[in-house]
Amino acid sequence: MRTQVGIIGAGPSGLLLARLLHLQGIESIIIERQSKEYVLGRIRAGVLEQGMANLLRQAQVGARMDREGLVHGGVNLAFNGRLTRINMAHHTDGQSVIIYGQTELTRDLVEAHLAAGGIIHYEAPAIAVAEYHTTQPRIIYEQNGQRQEIVCDFVAGCDGYHGVARQSVPADKITLFEKIYPFGWLGILSDVPPVNDELIYANHERGFALCSMRSHTRSRYYVQCSLDDDVANWTDNAFWDELRRRLPEEVAEQVTTGPRLEMSIAPLRSFVAEPMRFGNLFLAGDAAHIVPPTGAKGLNLAASDIYYLSRALIAHYQEKRADLLDRYSDAALRRVWKAIRFSWWFTSLMHRFGDDLLNQRLQVAELDYLTGSVAGQTVFAENYVGLPYEQFE
């Protein structure tokens, strides 16, 4: 098969790239190792920055998000028995985030892509990207037990941390940065109303907790746990009891409990691969970087990568320009590292690191300063709603 842009991965980043290219008359083919049912059923976070929400609207897939998404102009920090709201809209000239599940977002993108005649090959695992330093890179993959190839002008590796796009690059040509955090998040998804209209991040001597939601009737809650913990160790009641212990009393009393729809443990890491371009192979999303979920930046960083990459490819095809392709990696990485910094800082501020009492006192002092300072709240708000995309034209 031959196409202009070969895309590995049918997650939000690959689908969004295909959609933006299609609207400009640029052809693409997506291959995905998992089944369509698996992809559409994956449960992921859904805090969308202002920039990502705007990009989805530009891609003409934002109607349901605008109709059903929950607009949050603030976020709550709980510590030392108190709850303080940071008014993000006030500190960022009216900017906000939208709570809209990644599962729903993916469904919107898939439906739009297929309705426009787009091609997605599911259950087609990529094996390698070959000849990416030439003008005709090839994606080698399998489907129905047969070896297949896509020849294209460019390859977009949107295939996640374990994907073959990054692994196709020799180790001496790429620099990896990684930090593994000494804890995980135990999360429960339940059809119960959220305890608050906006997210609550809690710092407690027993460990971090997060009160989040997917809708007005479906909630997602997390508690910090050890890396060697197991879901089998937790009953629903044990989880709800532990969550309430870590929240201020007036919040804990309002928690509505219910049976789990899903419970899982997620490890936390920071990871960056540099550069994000290798000849005509471009990395985007989790293939190039991972952030701890504390700052809700993973999905949003994937979107900002696609912002830069889509504009670079459109400039190439419509104006025969190569300069934006040459600038893609540097532009994307500048924003990546700022989000990595914010996620590392927020993770370090909110979680318990062993029995270090000095660190716990310093966390409370910093939170007390942050919530009492206009400058501190502004810095937090600007980072949480998402730093602006740089001009890329």
Q: What is the DSSP letter of 230?
A: -
Among this protein's residues, is 91 annotated catalytic?
Answer: no
For 81, list phi and psi in degrees, rounded to 5: 80, 10
Task: Using DSSP bridges, classify how beta strands 119-121 and 97-99 pair: parallel, antiparallel or unpaired.
Answer: unpaired
Among this protein's residues, is 308 annotated catalytic?
Answer: no
Question: By the 8 A CB rule, do 154 and 6 touch?
Answer: yes
The active-site residue out of 22, 72, 91, 289 is 72
Question: By the 8 A CB rule, do 77 and 21 touch?
Answer: no
Strand partners, 223: 186, 209
**CB proximity list for 217: less than 8 A, separation 6 or greater:** 191, 192, 193
For 289, list phi and psi in degrees, rounded to 5: -160, 150
Among this protein's residues, is 216 annotated catalytic?
Answer: no
Largest Cα separation within the chain, whole Å, is 62
The active-site residue out of 201, 221, 222, 307 is 201
The active-site residue out of 22, 297, 316, 351 is 297
Q: What is the dihedral of CA 16, 19, 21, 22, to 10 degrees?
A: 170
Task: Using DSSP bridges, classify how beta strands 219-225 and 97-99 pair: parallel, antiparallel or unpaired.
Answer: unpaired
Among this protein's residues, is 201 annotated catalytic?
Answer: yes
For 390, list phi and psi in degrees, rounded to 5: -75, 155
Among this protein's residues, is 320 annotated catalytic?
Answer: no
Strand partners, 277: 282
Going 240 to 241 to 247 to 249, the CA torsion angle's sign is positive
For the record, the structure tokens of 369 come out as 């300063």
Q: By C-alpha distance, which of 137, 25, 115 is closest to 61? A: 115
The active-site residue out of 293, 308, 316, 351 is 293
For the record, the structure tokens of 349 come out as 């501020």
HEC profile for 202-266? EECCCCCEEEEECCCCCEEEEEEECCCCCHHHCCHHHHHHHHHHCCCHHHHCCCCCCCCCEEEEE
Question: By the 8 A CB rule, do 41 and 17 touch?
Answer: no
Give the length of the chain.
393
AA letter at 344: W
CA distance 62 to 320: 30
- Residues marked as catalytic: 72, 201, 293, 297, 384
